[in-house]
């Protein structure tokens, strides 16, 4: 399983008694689902290293001293704040969070916490203001031209503006618009340029200030390198766009080695995790907020969907069609493998890494598609069906598992379930039943005595199959007749279980009515 393989490779190439696993994100709006793959990947690797006896610290950083460099959709009112650090941009809801960065960061933290990832969260703005980066800033100012040359050599870019330090303008509070024009070892001279960047306008102020304790920040490549050194990061992955040759990871690696005397962490370049499907609020897959994905399924299943594919495989998760029932079936197979009832070591480990906290008991798992069908049948006691199938009473853990499935199924039926999974038992004989053929009507009439025998779902299902054969009906004609009589459509759940779960007198009355023998 890829997490175990990564952990083994880390142990081989970066042996250390203590590992620091770091992931980070600039909270510049609602955090997208691709970043969730990042957190879960790092959480799994941290778990795997800890399991192998290492002391592990798992960090998650919100880079909220980064400037706001674009407006979230529908937030043109924030235009005046472009260029300010994210921690200084107003919160969409000041009662919920004190800043723009906090608002979106806290939302994302709540999501990955629910999915079982519990890193120590840090906010870069706090570290700057506490002076944690001061030494790194001093080094960057002292050796600025060396850093710029090094960065140009690695990136192959001749772009002029890559001074490793960005000063906060004392006049307008922007950090994205300033350039450093002098440094005397105590104060940094800077200019706030109206035209430095296309996305924000500086105020024209020129001044001198201390770069320390929040007076400036490191440009993000140098900041990445400084963090690795400061925190002693040994493992840090990033989306593949950062991991290209001469890309940001290579540039930060060169700086940490040449300037800060540190070692780049073990890199993990992971692929996109897209969420597709016509019904998602954002149509562009990569832009789907993590919250929308996490709302689809309970934590273990959402996590399983992320952990199951290899990290180098691009995922386009479309919650429509058969995706969710198949995911659940795969999850159940993984559980059987984990508890030794199926031989699939890879899936067994996937189940382990999908664990989101709480118990990992070997519970009874009623198939998701069954649950989705059952919870649409009025008056059915799903727990009783589960007990019958289990062949014994449900334990509290069985019951909790079933409740989670029912909740997922109901949500799925309201949102992404394809029409053939959705049905509603019609209170009166549907008009469409008038189109039933004489053969179908005879078949329904013959079904009455079978239903009256009060068979269990499985036996009734077998009996219906036998009856269909006796009547020489194709499956579609036979089962279609049942669905038309009860649901007013051509397809539906497995008929035996379906009819067995309904009130028997109701079923008999309806069959007679549909057969034309009402009364
Ligand atoms: Zn300014």
Cα–ligand 1 centroid distance for 202 (angstroms): 5
Best mean pLDDT range from 117-131, 365-379, 445-459: 117-131
Cα–ligand 1 centroid distance for 163 (angstroms): 17
Within 10 angstroms of residue 506's Cβ, the number of other Cβ atoms is 15
Instruction: Give the per-residue pLDDT at 456.
Output: 86
Residue 206: pLDDT above 50?
A: yes
Instruction: Give the per-residue pLDDT at 493.
Output: 86
In whole angstroms, how large is the CA radius of gyration of the chain?
30
Instruction: Give the per-residue pLDDT at 391.
Output: 95
Per CATH, 1-130+271-359 and 431-515 having the same topology is answered no
Using an 8 Å Cβ cutoff, are 105 and 96 in contact?
Answer: no
In whole angstroms, what is the distance from residue 121 CA to residue 126 CA?
A: 11
Instruction: Give the per-residue pLDDT at 282.
Output: 44
Cα–ligand 1 centroid distance for 219 (angstroms): 17
Cα–ligand 1 centroid distance for 230 (angstroms): 30
Cα–ligand 1 centroid distance for 205 (angstroms): 5
Residue 519: pLDDT above 50?
A: no
Within 10 angstroms of residue 98's Cβ, the number of other Cβ atoms is 13
Provide the terminal-to-terminal Cα distance of the chain, rounded to the nearest Å.
63
Instruction: Give the per-residue pLDDT at 161.
Output: 55
Residue 281: pLDDT above 80?
A: no
Greater model confidence, 377 or 339:
339
Cα–ligand 1 centroid distance for 193 (angstroms): 7
Fold classified for 1-130+271-359: Rossmann fold (3.40.50)
Q: Which residues surround ligand 1, an ion (CB under 5 A)?
A: 169, 171-172, 192, 202-203, 205
Instruction: Give the per-residue pLDDT at 287.
Output: 65
Cα–ligand 1 centroid distance for 207 (angstroms): 10
Locate the domains of the chain by residue range.
1-130+271-359, 156-218, 361-422, 431-515
Q: Provide the H-helix boundaries in 182-298.
A: 220-231, 248-258, 290-294
Confidence of residue 72 (pLDDT cuts 50, 70, 90): confident
pLDDT tens digit sequence for 428-487: 999 999 999 999 999 999 999 999 998 888 899 999 999 999 999 999 999 999 999 999
Using an 8 Å Cβ cutoff, are 2 and 311 in contact?
Answer: yes
Mean pLDDT of 171-181: 97
Cα–ligand 1 centroid distance for 59 (angstroms): 33
Using an 8 Å Cβ cutoff, are 265 and 295 in contact?
Answer: no
Fold classified for 431-515: Arc Repressor Mutant, subunit A (1.10.10)
Using an 8 Å Cβ cutoff, are 234 and 20 in contact?
Answer: yes
pTM given for the model: 0.90
Lowest mean pLDDT among 149-153, 200-204, 394-398, 490-494: 490-494
pLDDT tens digit sequence for 285-328: 446 789 989 999 999 999 999 999 999 999 989 999 999 999 99
Q: Which residues, in sequence order, are CB contacts of 287 under 8 Å at separation 6+?
A: 32
259 closest CA partner among 303, 211, 212, 222:
222
Lowest mean pLDDT among 44-48, 86-90, 375-379, 426-430: 375-379
Cα–ligand 1 centroid distance for 101 (angstroms): 21
The overall average pLDDT reported for the chain is 93
The DSSP output letter for 81 is G
Confidence of residue 283 (pLDDT cuts 50, 70, 90): very low
Can you read off the two tokens belonging to residue 55? 């002391």
Instruction: Give the per-residue pLDDT at 511.
Output: 97
**Helix H or strand E encompassing 3:** helix 2-13
Q: Which residue do the tokens 């060169």 mark?
A: 254
Can you read off the two tokens belonging to residue 268? 């993990």
Using an 8 Å Cβ cutoff, are 252 and 224 in contact?
Answer: yes
Cα–ligand 1 centroid distance for 85 (angstroms): 12
Coil, strand or helix at 511: helix
pLDDT tens digit sequence for 237-268: 999 889 999 999 999 999 999 999 999 999 99
Looking at the chain, the whole-number percentage of residues with pLDDT higher than 90 is 83
85 closest CA partner among 209, 188, 200:
200
Q: Which residues, in sequence order, are CB contacts of 503 under 8 Å at separation 6+?
A: 379
In whole angstroms, what is the distance from residue 256 CA to residue 427 CA?
A: 71
Can you read off the two tokens belonging to residue 188? 């940094």
Q: Which residues, in sequence order, are CB contacts of 444 under 8 Å at separation 6+?
A: 436, 481, 482, 485, 511, 514, 515
Give the distance from CA 467 to its chain's centroid. 47
Using an 8 Å Cβ cutoff, are 439 and 477 in contact?
Answer: yes
Cα–ligand 1 centroid distance for 181 (angstroms): 14
Can you read off the two tokens belonging to residue 166? 């960005």
Cα–ligand 1 centroid distance for 168 (angstroms): 8
Residue 494: pLDDT above 90?
A: no
**CA angle in degrees (0–180, nearest 5) for 114-120-121:** 85
Angle 220-231/134-142 helices, nearest 10 degrees? Answer: 130
Looking at the chain, the whole-number percentage of residues with pLDDT higher than 70 is 97
Cα–ligand 1 centroid distance for 215 (angstroms): 13
Cα–ligand 1 centroid distance for 206 (angstroms): 8
């Amino acid at each position: 399983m890829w997490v175990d393989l990564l952990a083994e490779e880390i142990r081989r190439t970066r042996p250390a008694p203590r590992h620091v696993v770091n992931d980070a994100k600039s909270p510049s709006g609602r955090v997208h689902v691709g970043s969730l793959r990042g957190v879960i990947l790092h959480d799994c690797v941290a778990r795997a290293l800890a399991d192998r006896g290492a002391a592990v610290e798992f960090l998650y950083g919100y880079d909220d001293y980064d400037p706001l460099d674009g407006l979230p959709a529908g937030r043109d009112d924030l235009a005046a704040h472009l260029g300010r650090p994210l921690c200084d941009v107003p919160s969409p809801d000041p009662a919920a969070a004190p800043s723009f960065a906090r608002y979106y960061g806290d939302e994302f933290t709540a999501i990955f916490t629910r999915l079982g990832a519990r890193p120590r969260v840090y906010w870069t703005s706090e570290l700057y203001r506490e002076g944690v980066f001061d030494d790194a800033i001093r080094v960057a100012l002292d050796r600025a031209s060396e850093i710029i040359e090094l960065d140009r050599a690695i990136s192959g870019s001749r772009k002029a503006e890559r001074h490793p330090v960005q000063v906060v303008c004392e006049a307008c509070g922007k950090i994205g618009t300033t350039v450093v024009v002098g440094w005397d070892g105590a104060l940094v001279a800077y200019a706030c340029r109206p035209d430095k960047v296309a996305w924000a306008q500086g105020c024209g102020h020129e001044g001198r200030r201390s770069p320390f304790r929040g007076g400036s920040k490191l440009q993000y490549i140098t900041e990445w390198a400084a963090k690795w050194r400061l925190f002693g990061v040994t493992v840090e992955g990033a989306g593949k766009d950062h991991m290209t040759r001469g890309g940001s990871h290579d540039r930060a690696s060169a700086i940490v080695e040449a300037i800060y005397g540190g070692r780049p962490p073990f890199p993990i370049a992971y692929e996109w995790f897209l969420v597709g499907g016509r019904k998602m609020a954002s149509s562009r897959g990569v832009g789907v907020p993590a919250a929308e994905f996490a709302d689809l399924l309970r934590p273990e299943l959402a996590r399983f969907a992320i952990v199951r594919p290899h990290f180098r495989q691009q995922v386009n998760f479309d919650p429509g069609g058969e995706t969710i029932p198949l995911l659940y079936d795969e999850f159940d197979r993984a559980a059987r493998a984990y508890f030794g009832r199926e031989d699939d070591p890879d899936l067994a480990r996937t189940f382990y890494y999908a664990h989101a906290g709480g118990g990992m008991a070997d519970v009874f798992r009623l198939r998701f598609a069954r649950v989705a069908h059952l919870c649409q049948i009025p008056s059915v006691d799903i727990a009783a069906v589960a007990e019958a199938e289990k062949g014994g009473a449900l334990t509290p853990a069985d019951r909790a598992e079933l409740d989670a499935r029912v909740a997922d199924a109901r949500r799925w039926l309201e949102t992404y379930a394809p029409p053939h999974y959705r049905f509603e038992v019609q209170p009166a004989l549907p008009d469409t039943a008038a189109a039933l053929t004489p053969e179908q009507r005879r078949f329904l009439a013959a079904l009455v005595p079978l239903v009256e025998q009060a068979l269990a779902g499985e036996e009734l299902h077998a009996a219906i199959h036998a009856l269909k054969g006796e009547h020489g009906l194709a499956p579609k004609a036979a089962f279609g007749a049942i669905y038309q009589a009860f649901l007013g459509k051509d397809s539906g759940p497995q008929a035996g279980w379906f009819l067995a779960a309904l009130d028997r007198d109701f079923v008999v009355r309806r069959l007679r009515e549909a057969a034309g023998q009402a009364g």
